[in-house]
Copies of this chain bind each other. A is one copy, B any other.
Amino acid sequence: MVDDRRGEPLFERLCLIGVGLVGSSIARAARERGDIARTVVAHTRKPETLARVRALGFADVVEADPAEAVRGADCVILCVPVGAYAGVMAAIAPHLAPGCVLSDVGSTKGSVIRDLGPLLPPGVHLVPAHPMAGTEHSGPDAGFADLFRGRYVILTPVPGGNAAAVERIAELWRRCGSMVERMDAATHDKVVAIVSHLPHLIAFTICGTADDLAEETREAVLKFAASGFRDFTRIASSDVDMWRDIFLNNREALLEMLARFTEDAQALGRAVRWGEAGFIEDRIRRGRRIRRGLIERKQA
């Protein structure tokens, strides 16, 4: 099914709906390799972004009308915040070509099936995907062809979906340099809730907690931000729309992980209050053990 020869494109016409950091990086990777798509179509709503994407020149076609953008495409990838999926799908669904593979790059996967599934035309194959790659920056200028190199991409194929379509999306990501894994959407949403969404919620929160301190302490906090707080704020500098949508679209898994984490933090706080040294030591040792696990997997 998959053609591995360089130069023979995987898709004839790849349409990217949204060309921010991730979308523009896919376009740049496709342009650099040549064997991902013969033609790359970029769609974006905002006039100023359209002009910028034309100037940057990473797409063969830049199209303001979503219906026009997807016309004749054999692959469409949604690269907009997950909260925009339902609206985008309403606009493009009637214009998707039969046999088209519809994929995405969103950080929540249950919501994709919920928002795209009901509008999916017969003969269009949905393959939800989540490239675990990103930077602190956003917008079409922030993208680069190597963004996905060496990073995991998780596919969450829909039950009873088209196996050949899944394999073509897997191959697209392998050609971008990624390692492809598959899991069901529910497991994906739990895993990213704890490895990514909860850490972001915590980082946004602690910045606010610091900001609420009395003037004198707050000034000192900014001055003496040691490595702990600094690492937290690095996470907290992320894109507003994207993270609002992620939180709202992975609600259940995120709230479950927040509840578990809060219980655990309260238990550690209780041990601090009552001077339970053994309990505190045990919690610190577990942190070190997980850290070692990451180092052994070369993730740290």
Which residues on A are within 8 Å of B, measured CB to CB? 132, 134, 152, 154, 181, 183, 187, 190-192, 194-196, 198-213, 216-217, 220-238, 240-241, 243-244, 247-248, 251, 254-255, 257-262, 264-266, 268-269, 272-273, 275, 277, 280-281, 283-294, 297, 299-300
Contacts and interface: CB of A to CB of B under 8 A. Distances in A.
Given A255-B273, A290-B222, A232 B199 contact: yes
A248 B299 contact: no
Q: Which of A132, A280, A297 has the most CB of B within 10 A?
A: A280
Contact of A224 (B154, B283, B289): B154
A63 to B, nearest CB: 29
A229 B202 CA distance: 11
A273 to B, nearest CB: 6
B222 A194 contact: no
Contacts of A257: 209
Nearest to A208: B286
A228 B260 CA distance: 18
Tally of this chain's copies: 2
A240 B285 contact: yes
26 contacts: A154-B224, A181-B224, A190-B213, A194-B217, A194-B221, A195-B210, A195-B221, A198-B206, A202-B265, A204-B268, A205-B268, A207-B289, A223-B299, A225-B294, A227-B235, A230-B294, A231-B232, A233-B287, A233-B290, A234-B300, A238-B284, A238-B288, A244-B281, A251-B273, A258-B269, A259-B269
B194 A287 contact: no
Given A199-B231, A255-B272, A207 B243 contact: no
A221 B264 contact: no
A255 B274 CA distance: 11
Given A233-B294, A235-B228, A284-B243, A199 B195 contact: no
Given A244-B280, A260-B209, A262-B262, A286 B191 contact: no
Contacts of A291: 207, 233-234, 236-237
A261 B213 CA distance: 11
A184 to B, nearest CB: 11
Interface centre among A191, A229, A237 (most CB of B within 10 A): A191
